[in-house]
Amino acid sequence: MIKLHDKTFEPYLSPVDLNKAVLKVASELTADYSKREKPPIFIAILNGAFMFASDLMKELNFDLELSFVKFSSYEGTESTGVINELIGFNQDLKGRDVVIVEDIIDTGSTLERVLPLLNAKGVNSVRIATLLLKPTVFDKKYQINYVGLEIPNIFVVGYGLDYDELGRNIKEIYKLSQ
């Protein structure tokens, strides 16, 4: 058991489980991207995806580019679809094959707001790779192409994921204790 802020968490996914999930995504990506003429560009979403992105990149043995973006967690009441790029898509993405790297997809709202920004840059293709997906919560129309592990609708921390900014440094994943 660990305590972060006011809540306790119990072990859920071990480093071995996480490594299996990383290798699964890596082998699927290798099958799809290793023989492309133009290297794909992986774009990991900060802060949460940093640890997954780091472990995933070490398993991809073909030419690729890696970049990071960071968005403000916009939770305004007006659903204008506007999000602030704190660290934006600053390279020329025209004609590129982009793979978004996420730590976890829950409702899918974050990516729903990011995808139009990418499409507006004239990319050739966009696919999504996530370590974790909560399939019972995800209700958007776009496809999640690469999934390390599906989990139920529970709150998890560790391996990049936070509870109010704590827990990102933990090397396994814990779930909230009931």
One of 106, 123, 168, 172 touching ligand IMP (CB under 6 A): 106
User: What per-residue string of b and e applies to 103-122 under the rule 16 or more CB within 10 Å gives b?
Assistant: bbbeebebbebbbebbeeee
DSSP tag of 26: H
Query: What residues act catalytically?
Result: 106
Binding mask 35-74 for ligand IMP (x = CB under 6 A): -------------x--------------------------
3-class secondary structure, 153: coil
One of 161, 170, 173, 174 touching ligand IMP (CB under 6 A): 161
Which residue, 55 or 102, has its beta carbon nearer to ligand IMP? 102
Q: Of 21-29, 35-43, 103-111, 116-124, which segment contacts ligand IMP by CB under 6 A?
A: 103-111
Adjacent-strand bridge partners of 42: 66, 99
One of 40, 48, 148, 167 touching Mg ion (CB under 5 A): 48
Adjacent-strand bridge partners of 97: 125
Residues that bind ligand IMP (CB under 6 A): 48, 102-110, 155-157, 161
